[in-house]
Amino acid sequence: MGVMSSPVPAHLHADCSRCAALCCTALPFAASADFAADKPAGTPCRNLRDDFRCGIHGQLRESGYPGCTVYDCFGAGQQVVQVTFGGRDWRRSPDEAARMFAVFPVMRTLHELLWYLTEARALPQAAPLHDELDAALAATDRLTRLDPAGLVELDVEAHRREVSELLLRVSERARPRGRNHRGADLVGAALRGADLRGANLRGALLVGADLREADLRGADLIGADLRGADLAAANLTGALFLTQAQLAAARGDARTALSEPLVHPAHWPQRAEPARRRRRRR
């Protein structure tokens, strides 16, 4: 997927060519619907090649690794390798491997916050909060430039909570008043055609939820888990803090409405079912 036009700067988009496969090595995963095998943290995936490329990249879903296709480091990988560790990688500098793997998830959180803060700053309704957003952006950017020891010692969750409160204030200004489902367990929920305009769905568990034809215009979806959620014909225009990775984890179709720069994932059906065929099924 190419980089789309966006208020988010290029360094917050993943550039795997400048990383050292940190997401394939530093992070653990368990055998599940998302991953075909167990892998402990700090161990290279069995599909990783010597050149840091994935040996099954073109067949990840078919090979049982759909979880890899929906992961986004927000550019943290190249920041760790190229900036924090000055171009070194864990293969050529094995003595740095443990620290590099410990730094990566911290950097990933910081880059994710930079992404959300940048998107928030671009919202017209956020104008009264520009000074606070600029301060938060500057503070977060400074943290990304700490040395490895500083990043490992950083209380990144405390910083995330502080930024999250600011983003919530932006959200409250930017969206119409809607239902509050913050952090709600909506796994498998029957929400077909639901009016969720302006809803607060921050951190909601929407795994496998039926959101076909739902109206999610202006909803806040920061951190919402959309794995396997059915978004066919749903309207997500103007949804706040929705990422391409969230869409890749969900299901949708050609009728799913999105705002730029978001695009329909390649694995979604690219054509809508003809109306006459749908009527015959009713």
Res. 20: pLDDT tops 70: yes
The percent of residues above 90 in pLDDT, for the chain, comes to 90
pLDDT of the residue at 46: 95
pLDDT of the residue at 167: 98
> Which one-letter DSSP state was computed for residue 81?
I
Q: Which two tokens stand for residue 278?
A: 């749908």
Q: Which two tokens stand for residue 200?
A: 């607060």
Measured distance CA(165)–CA(152) in Å, rounded: 24
pLDDT of the residue at 279: 42
* Average pLDDT of every residue of the chain: 93
**What's the full length of the chain, in residues?**
282
pLDDT of the residue at 176: 84
pLDDT of the residue at 270: 81
> Which one-letter DSSP state was computed for residue 92?
T
Tell the residue number behind the tokens 């956020």, with chain if given. 126
Q: pLDDT-derived band of residue 3, with 50, 70 and 90 as boundaries?
A: very low
Tell the residue number behind the tokens 């014909």, with chain if given. 233
User: What are the pLDDT digits (tens) for 180-211?
Assistant: 999 999 999 999 999 999 999 999 999 999 99
Q: Which two tokens stand for residue 57?
A: 């990249």
User: What are the pLDDT digits (tens) for 106-135?
Assistant: 999 999 999 999 999 999 999 999 999 999
Query: Omega before 269 cis (within 30°)?
Result: no
Average pLDDT score over residue span 92-113: 97
Res. 69: pLDDT tops 50: yes
Higher-confidence position of 194 and 271: 194
Helix (H, G, I), strand (E, B) or coil at 95: helix
Pair 47, 109: CB distance under 8 Å: no
Average pLDDT score over residue span 53-81: 95
Measured distance CA(93)–CA(90) in Å, rounded: 5
Considering the segment(s) 177-271 as one domain, its CATH architecture is 3 Solenoid (2.160)
Backbone angles phi, psi at 235, to 5 degrees: -110, 110
Res. 33: pLDDT tops 80: yes
Res. 248: pLDDT tops 80: yes
Q: Where are the domains of the chain?
A: 177-271
Looking at the chain, the number of H-run helices and the number of E-run strands are 8, 0
Across-strand partners of 251? 230
